[in-house]
Structure 1
Amino acid sequence: HSFISKVWKSSLSCLITLSPSLCLLKCKEGHSGPTYESLQTVIDRKYFRPAVNLSNPTISNISFTLYAVLGVDEKAQILTTFLWLRLYWVHEFLVWDPEECEGVTKISLPVKDLWSPDIIVYDVDDDVSQQCPYVYVNHTGHIRYDRMLRLVSSCNLEIFNFPFDIQNCSFTFGSYMHTSKGYTMAPLHHEMSENSKKYLEASGEWELVIIQGEPGILKFGIDEWDIITFWVVIKRQPVLYVVNLLIPSTFLMVIDILSFYLPPHSVDRASFKMTLILGYTVFLLIMNDLLPSTANGTPIIGIYFSVCLALMVISLLETVLITNILHSMKCHDVPRWVQVLVLGYIARLICYTQDPPDRPEGDSAMPPPLEAPAQIVNGRNAPTPIPRIPELAQISADLRLMRTHLASVQKESVLHEQWCHVGYILDFMLFRTYILIISMYAFVIICMWCIWYRQ
């Protein structure tokens, strides 16, 4: 009780008369600034809000400079930043006349000896703050307090457009104890974004777009707290990921596309595609450390890599199918549904106009079998009997065998040409599909890059 009475006796005149002249700090001649005794009176009141009229809330301005984005953990949805927080408020008992204090307009005092607002960040998981031991006090009572903060805050990170993603995270500042009746806050936007952009230019992966502050009210029951929410919009620099992810993947896909120019019936084509798939699998394993992943979604670039791997596997299966068709199905007729579906609809759909190679004219028809000359018997034609000579009979049998063999070879050649035609159409269809998907992907990537560049 004696401590409280001692504190408030010195300011009793201020509370009763509300006269600013009675609340001025005293200065002695020969001293540069307020005297120790007058400052000690203010220090004794450090546990009380510095307001002459307690019904008037203390107004504080808040701003910060974003120095660096230390880390972004997409899986844990955590953003780690380093910023310099700056607070401004008015201490109504720290006022003096510079003319009486030899022109001194600003002094520094220990922050532990003065009242300071209890500002906290609501959406922070870890706060590693480096306290500044002093505050700067102006002769009008305006105080500036700087704090360096390393914040580990939660943020709803959207990674669908990775690596051309733009993140919008928030920092909510507010008082822990004082309600809006005793303490209010207001954002100070002056050069906040410009200073932060200047420091983030050399930070590497992230670039600042804008910082915007919006005051608000937090209600718990009948009490209300003043809060300020700062929206920090940052965008990723995609050059690193384009060089390390997109360009190698594009090279492998181009090589796989060029492999379609190898003959479909060649065994080397299948082994070449298997080597490409093995190389692409190793690339995906290396890429897994650079590609973000969350339980909420998968980036579009990850979907593209999966589609590319699936297309490579499909192209290998298509090569195996064509090889099987060209080596195993050449003795069977082409089914009717294959002719209608592949040779009819698919060929017209992909604008395939190449005809199968023509057969030599000598193989187009076989010579007719030998027949005996005819003679007229009783006005009718009748075959002339041929005398049975053993040598001629053996020659005739050999000719029949040769004719049967040539006919089977000719039929096998025709079937082989038909199945080759089917295989070429299927191969050309997958080749067109490859070209279409790669073109669409390149168009999407270019559009995303342009959108990222304009924002």
Structure 2
Amino acid sequence: MGEVKPTELIVICFMLLHGFVAALNCTSPTPKALLHALESSLLPEKRVRPVKSFSDPLNVTISITVVGILGVDEKAQTLTTVLWEVLEWKIEGLSWDEKECGTTRVSLPREMLWTPDVIISEFMEEDKSPGTPYVYLNNTGHVFDDKPKRVVSSCQLGIYTFPFDVQNCTLTFGAYLHFASDIRMIQGYSAAMTLEESKEVMQTKGEWELVDITVGQTTLTIDVGSYSEIKYHIILKRRPTLYVVNLLIPSCFLVTLDLFSFMLPPHSVDRASFKMTLILGYTVFLLIMNDLLPVTGEQTPLINVFFSLTLALMVASLLETVFITNIQFSSSQYGTVPPWLRVLVLRYLAFLVCLKPKKPSNKVTVNLSSSNTEPAVNSSITSISVQNISSNAKLQEAPPAAPPDPGLVELRKLSRDLTAIRCQVDKHSQGNSSSQDWLMVGVVIDRLLFCLYIVFISASFITIICIWAFNNSIGA
């Protein structure tokens, strides 16, 4: 044997100290020879991490691709997605020569290799995706583990702007048992590449649209140690067309119909029956569409507030119609309007809704049946009354034996009957002052509720359009 040079001896000692092993020896460039060589090298070592020493961390590179978004459960606060998960790590000291063994890559059963215990922290259900029994092993010792995952993960969903909401859900990948000193998670593809590839292979075009993906590397520290993690933030946007067509547009139609019902005259048309029919139809509409509305215990969607306010306005308009109808037919039985109500409604609210109160009439009706000293307004009635008074005076001065003139008696009776008829006609056509005040109160309240309806509908439309525009700007 030749003498070993000092430099060769130093290299050999250095390799032994660092745990390097020689490449696999294949008897022939055939799969059978490579498999025998791998079995003799891998099977005894698959129970421990493939590193040189226990103090060395194993770097596990992870990349994901979002294949499909199956759904979002607002009540359970979960997100269901389908992912492609790619893990890559290196078995230290394992390699073989391509020419000697015949290939640079071979697929092996998972049972032959040690695999990292990488899980998703937000997992809520068991992974029901089909299993992949094989992994790739390169001649450099790199292992590629590519498998699909059906992930049901927890996600804190905000549904205040439903159906124009944007959700940000997190998927945290990390080792279940091994600390950061044992397994170190490394980001694979960049966020831009992950988003681009996910949009290319996306299989679902349903309710949700993938907007953006961000990636960050973090460390979870607890009492017993720290864990290395990779966080993927998946930003989703809901497609609102279904809810706009089925919820918002029909509701706006019913609200608009109730708004125009204020143009119906309450004294000649049964407006209350019309509004009651609208309320019944709106209630049935909400019961049918209840399954489309999200239900959570934390937040109330803005659209639910819109529906509740709309129903409240419809009920208020029905009550106001009942009040006005009662005033129209029973105002003569009421007393005078209270001073506070007169000031609040007839002065301030009437000015607010641009409605001027009617001036009181200066016309006075005189009743001559009980007294002849009251002031006269109508000249014809006054002249007749004066003639009656003169006739009565002459009759009193005349001798008792003289009989009264029958024409004057009939004329006096006729004057009293005409005066009574005139009073009844004036009272029926004009009403007293309190009835006129109550009628004016009803008109002011009717106009006020009409204005509130217009303001509510305008504000609702502006809010919906602004939220929709902001939602579309996020996805652009």
**Who is 1:410 aligned against?**
426
Are 1:356 and 1:418, in contact at CA under 8 Å, matched by a contact in 2? no
**Corresponding residue for residue 346 of structure 1:** 349
1:25, 1:34 within 8 Å by CA — same for their partners in 2? no
Structure 2 distance, partners of 1:62, 1:218, is 17
Q: Runs of 5+ in structure 1 lacking a partner?
A: 1-11, 376-380
- In 1, the alpha carbon distance for the partners of 2:341 and 2:459 equals 30
- State whether residues 14 and 52 of structure 1, in contact with CA within 8 Å, keep that contact through their aligned partners in structure 2: no
TM-score, normalisation: structure 2: 0.83
Partner of 1:3: none
Distance 1:30 1:184, change over 3 A: closer
Which aligned pairs between 1:133-148 and structure 2 lie closer than 5 A? 133-148=133-148
Among candidates 442, 450, 454, match of residue 469 of structure 2: 450
Q: Deviations along 1:182-237, whole A, 9 cap, x unmatched?
A: 21002223321122233447431011122222222223324222122222111111
The two structures have a TM-score, normalised by structure 1, of 0.87
In the other structure, the counterpart of 2:400 is none
- Aligned match of 1:263: 265
Write the distance in 1 (CA, Å) between the matches of 2:419 and 2:189: 97
**Contact 2:258/2:278 (<8 A) preserved:** yes
Please name the residue that 1:51 is paired with. Answer: 51
Alignment of 1:106-125 (within 5 A): 106-125=105-124
Contact conserved, 2:29 with 2:100, CA < 8 A, in 1?
no
Shift of 1:276: 0.3
Q: Distance in 2 between matches of 1:14 and 1:242?
A: 72
Checking the alignment, whether the CA contact within 8 Å between 2:130 and 2:148 is kept in structure 1 is yes
Which residue number in structure 1 is paired with residue 81 of structure 2?
81
| 34-43 vs 251-260, greater mean Cα deviation | 34-43
CA RMSD after TM alignment: 3.1
CA distance in 2, matches of 1:236, 1:69: 11
Structure 1 pair 409–418 and aligned structure 2 pair: CA distance change class (3 A) = farther
- Which letter does structure 2 place at the counterpart of 1:401? D
Where is the strand percentage greater, Structure 1 or Structure 2? Answer: 1
Q: How big is each residue's C-alpha offset from its partner over 1:249-279, in whole Å with a ceiling of 9 and x where there is no partner? A: 0000011011111102234211110100000
Q: 1:75, CA displacement in angstroms?
A: 1.7
Maintained 8 Å contact 2:69/2:204: no
Contact map agreement 2:34 2:101 (CA 8 A) in 1: no
Match of 1:8 in 2: none
- The residue correspondences of 1:13-162 to structure 2 (distance < 5 A) are 16-18=16-18, 22-31=21-30, 35-40=34-39, 41-102=41-102, 104-128=103-127, 129-162=129-162
CA separation of 1:357 and 1:420: change in aligned 2, threshold 3 A: farther
Measured at CA, do residues 100 and 359 of structure 1 come closer, stay the same or move farther in structure 2, by a change above 3 Å? farther
Matched with 1:4 is: none
Secondary structure in structure 1 of the residue aligned to 2:56: coil
Partner deviation per Cα, 1:96-119 (whole Å, 9 max, x = no partner) = 2334444x2222111121111011
Give the aligned partner of residue 397 of structure 1: 413
Aligned length: 436
- Residue segments in structure 2 that go unaligned for 5+ positions in a row: 1-11, 367-376, 396-402
Match for 2:293: what amino acid? Answer: L
Structure 1 counterpart of 2:312: 310
SS at match of 2:45: coil
> Are the counterparts in 2 of residues 356 and 417 from structure 1 also a CA contact under 8 Å?
no
1:142-193 Cα offsets, whole Å, 9 max, x none, are 2211222222222211111111111111122211222111210022233211
From 247, 250, 258, the equivalent of 2:249 is 247
Report the equivalent of 1:7: none
Question: Percent identity of the aligned residues?
Answer: 42
Counterpart residue identity of residue 309, structure 2: V
The 1:396–1:184 alpha-carbon spacing in structure 2 relative to 1, beyond 3 Å, is same
Equivalent residue number for residue 175 of structure 1: 175
Cα distance between partner residues in 1 of 2:227 and 2:119: 12
Query: What amino acid maps onto 1:240 in structure 2?
Result: L
- Give the Cα–Cα distance (whole angstroms) in 2 for the partners of residues 204 and 357 of structure 1: 67
- In 2 relative to 1, CA 31–283 (structure 1 residues): closer, same or farther, beyond 3 Å? same
